[in-house]
Every structure is written in C-alpha cells, then in structure tokens.
Amino acid sequence: MKRSKLVTTVVACALSACCVGAFAACGENGGAGTHTPGAMDAVKTDIVVGGYEWGPAIPKIVVQFKGDVSGVTKDTFAVGMKSGFSNAKRTVTDAYTCDEKGNKVTTASKYVAIEMSVKYGEANPFTYNQNTGRNEWTETIPVTVTVNTGKSFNAGDKKFESGDKFAFDVKAENRIVPQTATWHKDTVDYNENGKKITLSRASWAPEGATADSGKNPLVIWLHGGGEGGTDIDIALLGNEVTALTTDNSTNVQHYFKTDRLAGAYVLAVQSPTMWMDALGNDDYGDSGANKEPTGEPQRSYYTEALWKAITTYVDGNSDIDTDRIYIGGCSNGGYMTMNLAFEHGDYFAAYYPICQGYMSGNISDEMLADIKDYKMWFLLSEADNTLKPSMYTIPLYDRLVTAGAQNMHLTYLKNVPGVDDPEPSAGWGTKGFYDGHWSWINAFNDDVKTEMDMTKVNSIADLKPENCTKTGNMWEWIAAQEKGGGAPLAPITTDTFEAEYGVITDGKMMQSPGWGQPEVEVDVSVTVETGNKYNGLEATNEKATNLGYFVGEGTKVTWTITAAEECDVVITLHAAAAVQDQSGVTDFGTGAGLKTKPVDMSKNEYVKLTVNNVDATLNGTLPGINDLNWAALGSPAIYRNFGTATVSVHLNKGENTIVLASTHKQQGINIDKIVITSDVALTYTPTDNSDRVQAQQPTSGN
C-alpha cells in the first residue's frame, strides 16, 4: 500500500559562531591557556545500519583517523546526525577502538566505533519517496562528532580536546550492514509471455545445515509495498526480516532447530515496484487500498517471475525439505501470499499472510473452495486503517471457516505494541503503539501467542480482538506443518483421559453423588483415549461431560513411549486448576460463588511427572476454572479456562516410561489431554493404570 511508513524529515541543527566563541571563553581553565576548539584530524565516517521492529536505524558510526587512537571512552564524544524525523543530537552509549567494520579490537587502530541508543523515528537511513511509494537509501547524512567538555583523546601524535569537531557528509554507499552480510544476494531474470522482469533475491542458511541429519525447511518472506525496488537490503531492513535468522537478538530459528536439524533456510524476494502492480506500470489499479471490490481476481504482473525465483532457489538447494516450505508476507506481500495460494497452492506446506491485501470481495466461492483445505495463519490489527480488516482478512477468514476449513487460524490484535521501543511516538498510530497496519512487528517480535477462540464465535461479529484469547503460537504452528498430512517431522502423540466424575483408574469406589446424599458405589474405570473429547468447539456442538479431577495420592497414568532414536521431546499438559478459594463463600450447599485460583505447576504441589524414574518439572501457571457450581459443570464454557504447562525431556532410543501422578489428597487439577511432540517417530502404549482414585465432585463437602 502507498503509505508513509518511514518518512524522513531533516531537522536542522546549526552551531553558530557565537556558540563556538562561548566554548572558547568558558573552557576548561576559564582563562589563559584555554583550548580553542578546532577541526579534528579525521578521514571519514561510516554508518552501521541495524534492523529493528519499525525498520532500519543507525546504532553505530565508525570514524577513521589518520593515526592510531588512544584514550577514548563512552564519555569522550557527542554526536549529531541529521537523519530521520528526530532531534539531531544522539545519545552515546559506548565508544572504543575497532577495525574498519566496527568490531572492537584491543590492538592499535585508526578506527573508533561510537555506539548510540535508537528508538522509533530516530537515525533512520531511509527516505520515503512520496512519488514512488517506496523507501530509498538517504543520499547524504550529515554527521558531526565533537569532543565533550573536559574530555580529550589522542590520534597519532595529535591530541584533541573540548569542542574539537569533525563533520562529514556520509553517503549512502558509506554504510556497513552486518545483519545482511550473511545473506547470499542475487537476481533472477524472467523473460517470458512478453515480459522482461528482474527480481532481486536474498537467501540465508542456518549454520551447519548441509552437515546435519536431514533436510531443512524453508521460510519465504514477501515484503510490503514500501520495500520494492532493486536493492534487496531495502526489503530485508524495511520489514525486520533479519528476525527470521540468528543475526539479531529476536529470531524464530529456535522453532525450526532440533537435535537433527540446524534450522530453517530463509528466502526473501523483492519486486521492482510492488506485488500488487497488475500491469507492471507501477500503479495499483483496481487493487488500490480500500477501494470497492470489483468481484474479479486481483492480478499481479510478477506472479510467474516470483514463482521462478522461488522454484529455482528450491531446485538449486537439495537440502530443502520440499514438504516443509512456508510462505508469508505483509500487506503487499500478504496479498502475494494469497495470490500464490490461488495459483500454486499445493506447493507450500503452510501460509502466514499478515495484514494481507487481497479483498474478500474479489475472491469467488470457487477460488475459496480451492484454498479452504490449505493451512493458513492470518495476522492483523483492528487499528489497521491502510487495509481495513472489514474488507480484507475478517470476511475472508469467516468465509473459509464457514466453508469447512479445518487448519485455519486467526490472530486479531487490538493494536501493534513494540519491544525495541516500548513507547513509540504516535506517528500514524495511537500513542504508545505503532501504526495499526504494522502487525508484521508482532510476527518478527515472536509475539503471536494467541488466536481467535472459536468457542466464543457464533457469527462474523464475534471475530474481534476481545475473543482472540486462545493460546496459539504462530511460529510454533508453522514449524509443525508438513505438506500432505499436516504433521511435523514426527507425529504428535495425543493421549487424553477425561472424566465422568473420575477417571484414570479401574475398579469401583464409594462416592456421594451430591451434597448431603449417601455414598454409592460408582465405576471409575480407566479411560485412555487416542481422540480428545474436547476440541475447542464445544460451544456449538454437544455439551461436554461433567468434569473429573486428577486427585488422590498415588493416582497415576503410565505410558510406555517407544522412540525411534534418542531425542528430546516436549510434553504439554492441557489442564485447568480446581484448587478452591473458599474465602467469602457462604453457600457451600449449591456451590454457588465457589471459585478457584491459579496453580503454579513448577511447585509440583498437585501432580508430578517422571520420565524414566527422573522427575521432570512442568512449567506454567494453570488458570482456575472460573465457575464450579452444578449448573456450569455440564457447560462447554468450562473448557475456555484451560491452560498449558510444558517441559522438555530427553528420551532414550527404545522404550521409555512416562508417569503422571497425583500428589495431593484434594482435588487440584482437571486434565484434558497430554501432547508429546518430537521430531523423532514415537509410538506409545498405555500400561498399568489401575491405581485407585479418589474421584469426587467439586464441592467442599466431599
């Protein structure tokens, strides 16, 4: 979309002659012998550019002097920089001698690195071209470096003191970009169907990928409208694509890295104009933002050229797992993600369109039917005024779900918060948040951890941020998708045991069916199922059964897990706390007003997990079931309170014994299911689960 994402306004900051004179008059010694500021003997200044959630910034400069430098500390210099739409004065956080690339050294050097803090809108090396709607490298950035009052340092045989200054106009080519230096950059030519197109392309490989024990997945990123052009670094930095790698502090590689695999390859491709350019003439045409839909498919001039750029890269890398290729992008790139789903959908394992630009009104029912069985995770913000949710993602998602889509997910945010700058200036958004269109920031910050809770959705009107409360991790989900079966490299083993007033045992026991009623003998047989009764949709399906609690010292469930080879697995317990908080409760007879409180699972107060006779501590706080009165027990709404507790454990090759045991006499945890995830094939057999359980209904009197 043509938006002013990174508009650069030069803020002039002039140092007048009278200011220099004032320095001289009020120098260190205040009189005779006062140092008269002059020009520092320096050669040039380079800027070091880094990628941040809002785009690029300059956190460091490298100044080259004519002689070796000594005596530099973080308090030596003040820096002025006329770039971005912020004050020209920068905040220096460190200074040290370095090599020509800005890397710290302990040997003699002519180079000094000066590090500075950054925040949104400060020290931006891009200028947004209002005519083209794209970012460009700022042609010239004036930089001044001044010695602070009372400070000095040496360069060669010269000493520089208070007020000495070096001014240099840094050209765009005087830049160092460490985060993109590890990428392989090339171009792809497409000369077919009367078109002559060159696309820029960059790929990144995880260290050790070609030497690990299997083929690695591929994550593809398609940029937004402001990042088109012929310099791939614009696309890698305009959206923080480096977050997909290990080249900055926030990255998602850990979701793809396992004992066998080094991680995921990453591929970024750049359009010469924008992906929503239908005719190759640098114009949106009918795809313009928020226009009335035409009812016709939105076409891109670059579809087949992009297809060639992707397939030639994949065909040229034999280490890519072609069953695990994931594609996504933001805005224009989100549109192109959907476009490729329509054109080449069965090639990809999963899609992650972010604030995508394909109007629902331009997608026919036939087109919808073609993609409803694909795996997709949509991400957007309600505060998006560039591509209104009501015209794009929300009706599209609603139509897909209504059409029967099964593996379709939606994260719908209220607005877009920040991490690199927790309190960004208002800009085009709400104060304290970024522009509402910039929801890709949440993806690159690995901050997509909830999704739409479909138990709360009865119509499209219920698709709103307030109902986006279900636990769901987008990158974790992406890494688990595989073309065809939709499973990760190895199966997820799901064992569930649910209750009709008590489970996980066999035999019979005495139990009161209600308050004040005599105990009767009830069946409390073992229930270990391969399918889960709770599927998250109970609000629209038949009601769930009454809850049963995993209680009674000695109660346990045991599995024998056979692993194809030695591996690490993640065990996730889906459960809710039933620990009663009786403060203020007066009506124990009906259970009215009876509440529960959260349970910190790391304290092992209610359940204990052991793997091969070694204790494993579950981490996570389970929310309390919010209503324990009798009328609520049969309601599917109970399950909305379920949370998760997880632990990573090591399994041996062959048989392993996993035991989940109750450690408390009173009701504590209602368990819905256990999920064991691994990248190694697992099989399981439930073994002796015949321990007796103190099954009881949730009242204080039993």
pTM: 0.67
- Give the list of residues 6+ apart from residue 298 with CB closer than 8 angstroms, or none: 276, 278, 286, 287, 335, 339, 358, 359, 362
Q: Per residue in 160-171, pLDDT tens?
A: 999 999 999 999
611-617: list long-range contacts, CB under 8 Å, 24+ apart. 611/649, 611/650, 611/651, 611/656, 611/657, 611/658, 612/651, 612/652, 612/656, 612/657, 613/657, 616/571, 616/647, 616/649, 617/647
> What is the band of 429 on the pLDDT scale with cuts at 50, 70, 90?
low
**d(C-alpha 391, C-alpha 114), whole Å:** 47
CATH number of 184-480: 3.40.50.1820
Q: Please report the pLDDT score of residue 108 as a whole number.
A: 95
pLDDT higher than 80, residue 517: no
Among 360, 362, 193, 187, CA closest to 286: 362
Lowest mean pLDDT segment, chosen from 17-26, 185-194, 290-299, 378-387: 17-26
**d(C-alpha 65, C-alpha 80), whole Å:** 18
Q: What b-and-e string marks burial along 291-303, b requiring 16 or more CB atoms within 10 Å of the CB?
A: eeeeeeebbbbbb
Q: What is the mean pLDDT of the chain?
A: 81
Task: List 619's β-bridge partners, or say none.
Answer: 646
Mean of the pLDDT values across residues 335-354?
97
Q: Please report the pLDDT score of residue 286 as a whole number.
A: 74
Task: List 648's β-bridge partners, or say none.
Answer: 570
Q: Per residue in 466-509, pLDDT tens?
A: 999 999 999 999 999 998 654 333 444 454 444 333 333 333 44
Q: Please report the pLDDT score of residue 620 as a whole number.
A: 86
pLDDT higher than 90, residue 565: no
Q: Which 3 state secondary structure label does DSSP give 97? A: strand
Q: Per residue in 197-226, pLDDT tens?
A: 999 999 999 999 999 989 999 999 999 999
CATH number of 17-176: 2.60.40.2180
pLDDT higher than 50, residue 3: no
- Contact by Cβ (8 Å): 166, 145: yes
Better pLDDT: 523 or 36 = 36
Mean of the pLDDT values across residues 16-34?
39
- Contact by Cβ (8 Å): 577, 668: yes
Q: Please report the pLDDT score of residue 692 as a whole number.
A: 36
**Cα angle for residues 482, 485, 487 (degrees, 5° grid):** 55
* Topology of domain 493-686, CATH: Jelly Rolls (2.60.120)
556's tokens: 């346990």
Q: Please report the pLDDT score of residue 510 as a whole number.
A: 53
Q: Please report the pLDDT score of residue 220 as a whole number.
A: 98
Q: Please report the pLDDT score of residue 127 as a whole number.
A: 94
Domains in the chain: boundaries: 17-176, 184-480, 493-686
Q: Per residue in 539-558, pLDDT tens?
A: 434 444 444 566 666 677 77
Lowest mean pLDDT segment, chosen from 393-397, 598-602, 621-625: 621-625
Q: Please report the pLDDT score of residue 18 as a whole number.
A: 32
Q: Per residue in 262-298, pLDDT tens?
A: 999 999 999 999 999 999 999 887 777 788 899 999 9
- Contact by Cβ (8 Å): 670, 568: no
Better pLDDT: 684 or 348 = 348
At residue 174, what is the residue type? N
Mean of the pLDDT values across residues 695-701?
31
pLDDT higher than 80, residue 417: yes
Answer yes or no: same fold for 184-480 and 493-686. no
> What is the band of 394 on the pLDDT scale with cuts at 50, 70, 90?
very high
Q: Are strands 42-52 and 175-176 parallel, antiparallel or unpaired?
A: parallel
Q: Per residue in 27-61, pLDDT tens?
A: 333 444 588 999 998 999 999 999 999 999 999 99
Which helix or strand (DSSP H or E) is residue 148 part of?
Answer: none
